[in-house]
Amino acid sequence: METRWFCILETQDIGLETAEKEFQLAALMRKLTSPATDGKPLDLSQVYFPGETATLASADLQEYVGRSIAKASGKVIETAVLEFEGVAADASDRRIGIKASFDIGNDGLLALLHELETGLPLVFVDKLAIRPMPAGDGKGADALRIDLEAVARWRSPSP
C-alpha cells in the first residue's frame, strides 16, 4: 500500500516540475517575442551561428566546439558534420550540428558542458556517450572518451 502512495506522490512531483518548466519556457518566449522598451527591434543575432550557407555555419560550429574542448583541456579525436533528414525540403529549418569524439577528464567535461549550454551562440547537446578510458593508457585515472552530438541554429548575415 505504501508503494502505491509513493508512486502517486512521485507522479505529482513530476507533474509539478513539468508545469514549472512549461511556465518558465512560456515566460522566456514572451520575453523573446515582445518588443523592446526603447522601440528598437530586439537583436537576436548572437543566438545564431552566422553563415551564408549551412556548410559555412557548420564549420563555425565545428571550430567553436573544438575550441571549447581544447579550452577544457580535452583532446579532439575526430569531428563530423551531422546531416538532417528533410532539410533540403524545408528551407526554414536552419539547424546545423556536429558529432565530436574526444578525450577529457571529469572536471574538463563539466566545464565544457557548462560552456556549451550557457554560452553564445546557443549550442544544444543532443547526445552524450561517456566511456572510461583504460587505466594503463597513461592519461590519468579520470580520463574519459566522449562522443557528443551538438546542434545549433544558423542565420545568414545578409537579409
pLDDT truncated to tens, each residue of the chain (159 aa)? 455 555 555 666 666 777 777 777 777 777 666 666 666 766 777 888 988 899 999 999 999 999 999 999 999 999 999 987 755 444 555 899 999 999 999 999 999 999 998 888 999 999 999 999 886 655 666 899 999 999 999 988 765
Domain co-membership, 19 together with 69: no
Domain co-membership, 54 together with 9: no
Q: Which amino acid is at 35?
A: P
CATH of the domain at 56: 3.30.70.60
Domain count, the chain: 2
Domain co-membership, 79 together with 136: yes
Cβ proximity of 128 and 105 under 8 Å = no
Domain co-membership, 99 together with 151: yes
- Give residue 106's domain range: 45-155
Domain co-membership, 129 together with 68: yes
**What is the dihedral angle through the alpha carbons of 78, 59, 45, 32, rounded to the nearest 10 degrees?**
-40
Domain co-membership, 110 together with 141: yes
Cβ proximity of 50 and 154 under 8 Å = yes
Domain co-membership, 54 together with 107: yes
What are the DSSP E strand ranges found in the chain?
49-50, 75-81, 95-104, 124-132, 144-155
Q: What is each CA distance from 69 to 81, 102, 109, in whole angstroms? A: 16, 8, 8
